[in-house]
Structure 1
Amino acid sequence: MARMIPPLIRQDSAPGERLVFQRLASDPVTENWVVLHSQDLAEHVRQVQGEADFVVIVPGRGVAIIEVKSHRRVARRDDGQWLLGSMPPTTRGPFQQADEAKYSIKAYLRRKGVDLRSTPLVSGVWFTHTKARAELPPAIEWHPWQVLDRDDLQAGAGQAVLQLLESGRQHLIDRVPAMAAAATGPTAKTVGSLVAALRPRFELGAGSADLRRERDAQLSAFLEEQYQALDAMEDNPRVLFTGPAGSGKTFLALEAARREAASGATGWLLCFNRTLGTYLSERASGAPGLDTGTLHATMLRLTGQQPPGNAGADFWQVQLVDAAIERLLDGDLTRDYLVVDEAQDLCTPAYLDVLDLMVEGGLTGGRCLLFGDFERQSLYGLLDGRQELGARISGLPTFTLTANCRNLPRIGSAVEVLTGMEPGYKRFRRPDDGMQPRYYWYSDPQEQGNLLVQAVRELREEGFQLDEIAILSTRRIRSAATQCQDPWLRPLLAQTEAPIRGRVRYSTVHAFKGLEAPAVIVTDIDRPTTPAFEALLYVGLTRPTDRLSVLATREALAGKILGESRQS
Structure 2
Amino acid sequence: MADVLVSDFVAKQTSEERARERRSTEMKLLGSQEVVLELTDTNDHVYFEGPAGTGKSYLITQSARRFNRESRKTLVACWNVLMADELQRFVGGLPNVDVADLNSLMLQLIGIPANPADAPHEWYTRELPERAIAVLRDKPHLGGYEAICIDEFQDVAGNLLLLELIFALAGTGRPAGTKLVFAGDSRQQIMRRVDEHVNPFAIAKSLIPDLVHVRVRRNCRTVPGLTSAVESTLRQQLGYTRHRVAKSVPGGLSTVDIVNGNEAGALVAALRDLLQHHAPEDIVVLSPFAEKRSLAGRLLARPEKSQDERWLRKQLQEEGLPGKIRWRSVFKFKGLDADAVVLTDLGPEAKDFVAAQKLEWSDLLYVALTRAKYRCVLLKPEQVSS
TM-score class normalised by the smaller sequence: 0.7 to 0.9
Query: Shift in Å at residue 434 of structure 1?
Result: 4.2
| Displacement of 1:363 | 4.8
Aligned to 1:327: 135
The structure 2 residue matched to 1:339, chosen from 132, 149, 154, is: 149
- Looking at structure 2, the residues matched to 411 and 264 of structure 1 have their Cα atoms a distance apart, in angstroms, of 41
Greater fraction of residues in helix: 2
Does residue 327 of structure 2 align to residue 511 of structure 1? no
Q: Is the 8 A contact 1:242 1:401 kept in 2?
A: yes
Residue pair 1:344, 1:378 contacting (<8 A) in 2 also: no
Quote the Cα distance in structure 2 between the aligned partners of 1:501 and 1:431. Answer: 35
Change (3 A) 1:399 1:270: same
Q: Distance in 2 between matches of 1:421 and 1:247?
A: 17
Q: Residue 524 of structure 1: which of 342, 345, 349 is its match? A: 345
Q: CA deviation at 1:424?
A: 2.6
Counterpart of 2:297 in structure 1 is 482
Which residue identity does 2:281 align to in structure 1?
D
C-alpha separation in 2, matches of 1:313 and 1:523: 28
> Within 5 A, what are the aligned runs for 1:385-396?
385-396=200-211
1:35-54 alignment runs, 5 A limit: none
Asked whether 1:272 is paired with 2:79, we answer: yes
Question: How many corresponding residue pairs?
Answer: 345
- Deviations along 1:33-75, one digit per CA (max 9) or x if unpaired, are xxxxxxxxxxxxxxxxxxxxxxxxxxxxxxxxxxxxxxxxxxx
- In structure 2, runs of 5+ residues without a counterpart are 1-15
Structure 1 residues 420, 350: closer, same or farther in 2, change over 3 A? farther
1:535 counterpart residue number: 363
| 2:167 corresponds to 1:350 | no
Give distance in 2, aligned partners of 1:341 and 1:232.
20
Distance 2:294 2:323 in 1: 22
Look up the equivalent residue of 1:544 and give its one-letter code: A
Deviation sequence 1:99-139 (CA, Å, 0-9, x none): xxxxxxxxxxxxxxxxxxxxxxxxxxxxxxxxxxxxxxxxx
In structure 1, the partner of 2:4 is: none
CA apart distance, 1:292: 0.5
* Alpha-carbon offset, residue 360 of structure 1: 5.1
CA separation of 1:212 and 1:436: change in aligned 2, threshold 3 A: closer
Mapped partners of 1:336, 1:400: distance in 2: 25
Q: Distance in 2 between matches of 1:540 and 1:490?
A: 23
Show the 5 A alignment for 1:279-294: 279-294=86-101
Over the residues paired in the alignment, what is the CA RMSD in angstroms? Answer: 2.4
Residue 119 (structure 2) aligns with? 311
Identity of aligned residues (%): 28
Shift in alpha-carbon separation, 1:237–1:556, aligned structure 2, 3 A = farther
User: For 1:217, which of 8, 24, 39 is the aligned residue?
Assistant: 24
CA deviations over 1:437-474 (Å, ceiling 9, x no partner): 11123366x322211110011112x2322222110111
CA offsets 1:187-230 (integer angstroms, 9 cap, x no match): xxxxxxxxxxxxxxxxxxxxxx9992211112112568613321
TM-score normalised to structure 1 length: 0.57
Give the match for residue 236 of structure 1.
Answer: 43
In the alignment, which of 284, 297, 305 is matched to residue 470 of structure 1?
284
Structure 2 match to 1:437: 253
CA distance in 2 between counterparts of 1:489 and 1:211 reads 25
Compared with structure 1, are the counterparts of its residues 501 and 514 closer, same or farther at alpha carbon in structure 2 (3 Å cutoff)? farther
Give the aligned residue type for 2:118: N
User: Does the alignment pair 1:379 with 2:191?
Assistant: yes
* Distance in 2 between residues matched to 1:401 and 1:426, nearest whole Å: 9
Mark the CA change 1:473 to 1:230 in structure 2 (over 3 Å): closer, same or farther. same
Change over 3 Å in CA distance of 1:440–1:456 after alignment to 2: same
Equivalent positions of 1:86-485 (< 5 A) are 212-222=19-29, 226-305=33-112, 306-330=114-138, 331-332=140-141, 333-347=143-157, 348-359=159-170, 361-365=172-176, 366-381=178-193, 382-384=196-198, 385-422=200-237, 424-432=239-247, 433-442=249-258, 446-460=261-275, 462-476=276-290, 477-484=292-299, 485=304
Is the contact between residue 359 and residue 367 of structure 1 (CA under 8 Å) also seen in structure 2? no
TM-score (norm. length: structure 2): 0.83
**1:255 partner SS:** helix
Question: How far does the alpha carbon of each residue in 1:217-244 deviate from its partner, in whole angstroms, 9 at most, with x for none?
Answer: 1211256861332114412100110011
Give the direction of change, closer, same or farther, for the CA distance of 1:554–1:364 in structure 2 (3 Å limit).
Answer: farther
Structure with the greater relative contact order (CA < 8 A, sep ≥ 6): 1 or 2? 2
Partner Cα distance (2:17, 2:316) in 1: 20
Distance 2:363 2:382 in 1: 19
Deviations 1:267-291, CA, capped at 9 Å, x for gaps:
1100010011111122212211211
C-alpha separation in 1, matches of 2:18 and 2:98? 26
Question: How many angstroms does 1:377 deviate by?
Answer: 4.3
